[in-house]
Structure 1
């Protein structure tokens, strides 16, 4: 058959995948034959059977999801990390599973160096590197301290933290303040511009926010802001414009009433208003609160953590507590800033995949079709991604409704068993840090966890089921 033969008659299409593709073609008059096909499942058959037949699983997952969706999130304070996390001196927190200086990637090393210089533990970059290489600075994951941090996630004792509380289950979660975009510490940059901004955040921004938050008549309902964001074109991970503006609206009256120089107040308001990702560092601990509420439920196959440190990707589940299952972090595919290209991008990094673990971010891309202009892809891709994620999850969260999908709740509660059965991996949209320390952000894109994480979790959950 020649190309001319193909074009001489209306096309007949065989479609395998989500219905959105078939529906779009039929709307254009094409003949479509749908084929039931999925990627092959993975995992040992005996392990899959052990989980599928575990009599605890249905009730345990129902409990996990119910706790996740019931959890609330209120902004109750802003305080330095050394106070709320009881951080000893010479301790730095970082994103993802545990790592060492030797295994740290370029942007992680850059952020750690910057934090050492910021804390004045060393006078020069060379001295800071020697200090970190000697093991004199303790490195520990944010997740081990009820904390999350975007990208490198490096948190030092002098950094100010959002302090969030769950009024339903009593949990607490924390996150540092967002620096903005571009050349920032969380992307591995540590030059004078970065350090000057961090010092201003320590000396001015943090204290002003503390006084403002403490003076508010009612705590800010951060979960409600997240729910409203999805109605306004945000997805809660790489697009936070509406959420940041709503947060500014809620905090502004209290900020302007703070007893501080008018120049400081003006700069604080300008900084927040010019930072489209200001809300992200509130959304992440909101998700952390919800997922921590679902920890420690024997028999549950639901994820409670997805996180990356730039070298490894790690996950945790409700049924296995604080145990990490890890694999090599993948490099995102997407769009690049300026002259940067794929060779400049570091493998995936950051605790911000807690948003996808909660059911927003890449799982709710249909709520924010404009996000594809930032991370690559098309609007149909965004819709199809959300449709696919429903196949990996246990429930739909009615509080996180997606307008374009008829206000259907976002896909919530990633199920290790469903991931293994379908062979599909969770979708994450993310920023990209430069591979070389000190570079900063080079782009944004899409990425998935390595399959190895889920294979390990599947085996562990199956072993636990057999011995229960």
Structure 2
């Protein structure tokens, strides 16, 4: 006799105690209330082919770094226009770090002299506007605030000409993206606008003209083999970028002091490459958008108040729920009471199959975000249960070079109850504080049944 059991182990243990062969199946009921919608979507004749098309389109993209330029130039941002991370939100509902980032941005643009004076500006709302980064082909880490004068990385899929963008990484601690707006934050941002941005533009354009544009997707492939997961650990990626750009930077005819400052800043900022990994992931996922019948998630993003997802088969619609506070490690004397709920567009990395989905490639990440090495390995294995495919470019050496889990499937999340795992930084909930820690977080469970219900409505 051979017995297959599911659910709790009481029956399996009793049978095994009688020397009967037992196969235990890790099964759980679907999320409450999703049974009918799961059946409807399962019967959608478009679903299988649509998901295959979405995954194929995503995996076919290669991101290249083709330019660095101000947001006013590449995004058309005008004075008083601000981009932010996550789904749409208004000032009245904005979290502390989101407000702090916007206040810093207003001072950077000269709309106010003192960041504190920007509160009245945003409360009035007549001369400013807020829009998600995702709506402009852009992603921003943490608060994700983008203003017209900020310099942006420009990534391109050379086969199609599609582009995505991201601001330059400021480093860690008290920085705009974590909601800080002190004088030293603004001083650093102005240096980035006056020196770093123009220097990187010269280096990137020089590289394009000589050896060809930097293959960001290729760097991602290599860095995953070198202990990075491309969300909270980007050390190898940053150094490879510096290697590729340094020759052109040295030959750009810039002031040697400026070149030294740029090399020192980038080389000393292990997170610098994150702002290239994010738009590379968005570029790939945007290729999978707007495929009728597809249940694949193409964006996960947080604004510090709401967590939202977008799905290929439902267009630009956001499905949102309350953002969660991460569970992790804190800096100094900070603790859970100091942390803001999850914030940032950087979960685009997990959406593409790296970051928290690739924790097995970077076991050292647990020293920053918490957990253990076995947890990291188990997380990557678990994410395969809610994804449509593996990415052959991005493999995990310790798992026999298995491809990273790719293409989050709304139906599989609802059917298993397994939520996507995200590695994240933690911003202080009070505007101006900055970073307070780093940890692990998942989306609010209710947003996936929301998306499933909409997919069911759209099924023929």
* Correspondence for 1:24: none
Q: State the match for 1:425 in structure 2.
A: 419
Q: Distance in 2 between matches of 1:66 and 1:133?
A: 45
Deviation for aligned residue 1:171: 1.1
Match of 1:342 among 336, 341, 345: 336
Determine if the alignment matches structure 1 residue 102 to structure 2 residue 92: yes
Map of 1:325-340 to 2, 5 A cutoff?
A: 325-340=319-334
Match of 1:310 among 304, 308, 312: 304
Gap regions ≥5 residues in structure 2 = 9-20
1:57-116 superposed Cα distances (whole Å, 9 cap, x missing partner): 000000000000011100000000001001121000000000011000000000000000
State the match for 1:374 in structure 2: 368
Q: Choose which of 163, 167, 180 in structure 1 pairs with 2:171.
A: 180
How far residue 260 of structure 1 moved from its aligned partner, in angstroms, is: 1.6
Q: Please show how residues 230-249 of structure 1 align to structure 2 within 5 Å.
A: 230-249=224-243
Q: 1:252 to 1:16 in 2, by over 3 A?
A: farther
Pick aligned residue for 2:46 from 56, 75, 90: 56
Per the normalisation by structure 1, the TM-score is 0.92
Match of 1:37 among 1, 10, 26: 26
- Alpha-carbon distance in 2 for matches of 1:200, 1:347: 30
Count, aligned residues: 439
Q: What is the rounded CA distance, in whole Å, between the counterparts of 1:456 and 1:412 in structure 2?
A: 21
The answer to whether 1:266 aligns with 2:260 is: yes
Cα displacement (A) at 1:326? 0.3
Deviation per CA, 1:383-427, whole angstroms, max 9, x where unpaired? 000000000000000000110011110000000000000011000
Deviations 1:365-391 (A, max 9, x none): 000000001000000000000000000
Q: CA deviation at 1:167?
A: 1.6
- Alpha-carbon RMSD across the aligned residues, in angstroms, is 1.5
Match of 2:68 in 1: 78
Following TM superposition, the consecutive aligned residue runs of length 4 or more in structure 1 with deviations greater than 2 angstroms are 14-17, 32-40
Partner of 1:396: 390
CA contact (8 A) 1:70 1:168 kept: no
Instruction: Tell me which moved more, 86-95 or 32-41.
Output: 32-41
Distance 1:266 1:33, change over 3 A: farther
Q: Are the equivalent residues in 2 in contact too, given 1:15–1:33 (CA < 8 A)? A: no
**Secondary structure, counterpart of 1:269 in structure 2:** helix
Q: How does 1:402-421 map to 2 (within 5 A)?
A: 402-421=396-415
- Once the two structures are TM-superposed, the CA of residue 34 in structure 1 deviates from its matched residue by 6.6
SS state at 2:292 partner: coil
Matches within 5 A, 1:153-168: 153-168=144-159
Q: Post-superposition shift, 1:35? A: 3.5
Partner deviation per Cα, 1:435-468 (whole Å, 9 max, x = no partner): 1100110000000000111111000001001xx3
Question: How far apart in 1 are the matches of 2:179 and 2:346?
Answer: 16
Partners of 1:392 and 1:37 in 2: CA distance:
14
In the TM superposition, residue 15 of structure 1 has moved relative to its aligned partner by 12
CA deviation digits over 1:130-180, x for unaligned, max 9? 101111310000000000000000000000000000123321000000000
CA contact 2:7–2:28 (8 Å) conserved in 1: no
**In 1: Cα distance, 2:332 partner to 2:249 partner:** 36
Q: Distance in 2 between matches of 1:215 and 1:240?
A: 24
Offset at 1:208?
A: 0.6
| Residues 1:287 and 2:281 aligned together | yes
* Partner SS, residue 319 of structure 1: helix
Distance 1:338 1:15, change over 3 A: farther
Give deviations 1:299-329, integer Å, cap 9, x for gaps. 0000000000000000001101111000000
Q: Residues of 1 paired with 2:334 and 2:34: CA distance? A: 41
The two structures have a TM-score, normalised by structure 2, of: 0.94
